[in-house]
């Protein structure tokens, strides 16, 4: 039997804050941006954490509390349902766990994970954040007594998962970009790594200009509606089957 005939097309998806907007989580560059009048470089940079770890822990605990009240929306759920027909891999700039809670199988976080903290002295020691952890600020300590930091890629820090993300983009039969302003690199460059001729779909109600990239179909809709439009396009045999 030709096993290739049984191979599901690989659908690689790059998501940004916009996919979580309809779950009530504000995006970074909206007018009332996520930074809640904290200067970005005070709460999301390596220098900021070195200067005032208590402030940074407080900022991330506030984001964790907001995330606890949020639920995955239909865009997250449709991505999970596409696993029936596609080999779906999600590369996300988001640090929320909504893709996980929607049940997606393959998720690669480029900018870290909000619900995790890691040891300052041993980066391989990572803990899930609990109610108790959230309550103990300023400098959260792990169960092993280590001083901890958010398991987040701060500005000024390298993006350790960018290599596997590039490999995923290069392996895509179909590449989908959802809800990102494409201003933060290296994540924004991923769509340049897809193989020539790979169909690209960009779902965003206010999309960035991707004129320079061949083969992009822009779906100028919010993520939940845009995912339904994408599914009907894919079902229409428009791509990748
Ligand atoms: N559905 C889809 N997209 C939406 C929706 C929605 N309902 N609402 C807003 N958007 C789009 C906006 O038009 C914008 O293009 O989501 C995008 C959000 O862009 P940003 O706020 O810049 O978020 P993102 O691109 O994920 O930021 C990248 O920047 O601040 C850093 O590390 C942070 O991961 C983040 C990175």
**Is residue 212's pLDDT more than 80?**
yes
Across 18-45, average pLDDT: 81
* Residue from 204, 208, 207, 199 nearest 233 by CA: 199
Across 234-240, average pLDDT: 70
* Residues flanking ligand 1, CB < 6 Å: 16-18, 21-22, 27-29, 93, 111, 179-181, 183-184, 204-206, 222-223
Q: What angle do CA 92, 65, 56 make, to 5 degrees?
A: 75
Q: Are 18 and 12 in contact (CB under 8 A)?
A: no
Across 36-42, average pLDDT: 79
Residue nearest to atom 22 of ligand 1 (CA): 181
Q: How confident is the model at residue 31 (pLDDT cuts 50, 70, 90)?
A: very low
CA of 120 to the centre of ligand 1 (A): 29
pLDDT of residue 119: 95
Q: What is the pTM of this model?
A: 0.93
Residue 37: partners with Cβ closer than 8 Å, 6 or more residues away:
none
Residue 61 tokens read as 């605990």
Mean pLDDT, the chain, whole residue set: 91
Looking at the DSSP assignment, which residues form a beta bridge with residue 149? 118
Longest dimension (CA), the chain: 62
Higher pLDDT, 204 or 214: 204
Higher pLDDT, 3 or 94: 94
Q: How many whole angstroms separate alpha carbon 120 and alpha carbon 233?
A: 47
**Is residue 237's pLDDT more than 90?**
no
């Amino acid at each position: 039997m030709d096993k290739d005939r049984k191979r599901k097309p690989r659908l690689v998806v790059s998501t940004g804050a916009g996919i979580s907007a309809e779950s009530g989580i504000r995006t970074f560059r909206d007018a009332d941006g996520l930074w809640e009048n904290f200067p970005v470089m005070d709460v999301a940079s390596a220098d900021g954490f070195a200067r005032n770890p208590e402030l940074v822990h407080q900022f991330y605990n506030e984001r964790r509390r907001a995330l606890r009240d949020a639920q995955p929306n239909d865009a997250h759920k449709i991505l999970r349902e596409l696993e029936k027909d596609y080999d779906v891999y999600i590369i996300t700039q988001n640090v929320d766990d909504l893709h996980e809670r929607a049940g997606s199988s393959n998720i690669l976080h480029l900018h870290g994970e909000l619900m995790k903290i890691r040891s300052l002295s041993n980066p391989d020691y990572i803990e899930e954040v609990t109610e108790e952890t959230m309550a103990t600020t300023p400098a959260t300590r792990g169960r092993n007594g280590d001083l901890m930091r958010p398991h987040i890629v701060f500005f000024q820090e390298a993006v350790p998962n960018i290599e596997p993300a590039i490999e995923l983009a290069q392996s895509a039969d179909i590449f989908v970009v959802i809800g990102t302003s494409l201003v933060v690199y290296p994540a924004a460059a991923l769509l340049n790594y897809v193989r020539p001729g790979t169909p690209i779909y960009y779902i965003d109600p206010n999309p960035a200009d991707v004129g320079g990239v061949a083969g992009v179909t822009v779906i100028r809709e919010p993520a939940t509606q845009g995912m339904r439009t994408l599914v009907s396009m894919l079902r229409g045999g428009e791509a990748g089957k």
